[in-house]
Structure 1
């Protein structure tokens, strides 16, 4: 699992932003860093919806710090666009449909009793302009949301 101080694994994934386009982390760092990558297990679930809506509620604060927020899940980009629309999310969601990003970041988990395997643990990584992990938080409990004040403070420390 990557942690604070590590190089952020680079990746390319579909970006659901109302449309669908390719997103490559390293290509975005010059203009968008710090980048907040908020991994969540699945769209349209209660805690994940609450988390993404909490990021939406704090989006102005992240924008004021010149940070860019992205949600990341194993859902398809089409599902993520519908999730964005239904929850009025103004930030992009990245589809890790093939589980490559989840594996590269070392945060896969299973809900074996439900037959669901390889979803992302609820995790947040802040990537600085040099492509390093400036902040990391990973939960083994999918029902726990991150400390949003702590994430915002980590972003503010980069300014």
Structure 2
């Protein structure tokens, strides 16, 4: 699992932003950094919806810091676009449908009692323009949301 000071694992994945585009982390660093990657277990679930809506509520503050927020989950890009639409999210959601990013970041978890495997632990990473992780938060409890003030402060520090 990456920690503060580590280089963020690069990846390419579908970005649901109303359309579906290719997203490569290393290519976005110059224009979008600091980047906030907010991993969540699954679209349309209660805590995940609350979390993504909380990031939406704070989006103006992140924009003021020139920080770019992206949600990341195992959901398909089509599901993520519907999730964006229904919750009026104005930031992109990255589809890690094959679980490769979750694996690279070491944040995989299972809900074995539900038959759901390989989803993301609720996690937030702030990445600066050099690709360095300047903030890392990972929860083993899927019901716990990040400290949004702390994430915002980390994005400000990385700007």
Q: What TM-score do you get using the length of structure 1 for normalisation?
A: 0.99
User: How far is the alpha carbon of 1:158 from its aligned partner?
Assistant: 2.1
| Greater than 3 Å deviation, 4+ residue runs | none
Deviations 1:79-125 (A, max 9, x none): 00000000000000000000000000000000011110000000000
| Residue equivalent to 1:14 | 14
Equivalent residues in 2 for 1:99-110, closer than 5 Å: 99-110=99-110
| Residue equivalent to 1:34 | 34
Q: What TM-score do you get using the length of structure 2 for normalisation?
A: 0.99
User: How far is the alpha carbon of 1:156 from its aligned partner?
Assistant: 1.1
| Residue equivalent to 2:82 | 82
Conservation of the 8 A alpha-carbon contact between 2:108 and 2:118: yes
Aligned length: 159
Q: Counterpart of 1:2 in 2: which secondary structure?
A: coil
| Residue equivalent to 2:129 | 129
| Residue equivalent to 1:143 | 143
Q: Which runs of 5+ in 2 are unaligned?
A: none
Deviations 1:2-59 (A, max 9, x none): 1111000000000000000100000000000000000000000000000000000000
Partners of 1:103 and 1:76 in 2: CA distance: 17
User: How far is the alpha carbon of 1:157 from its aligned partner?
Assistant: 1.3
Q: Counterpart of 1:49 in 2: which secondary structure?
A: helix
| Residue equivalent to 2:154 | 154
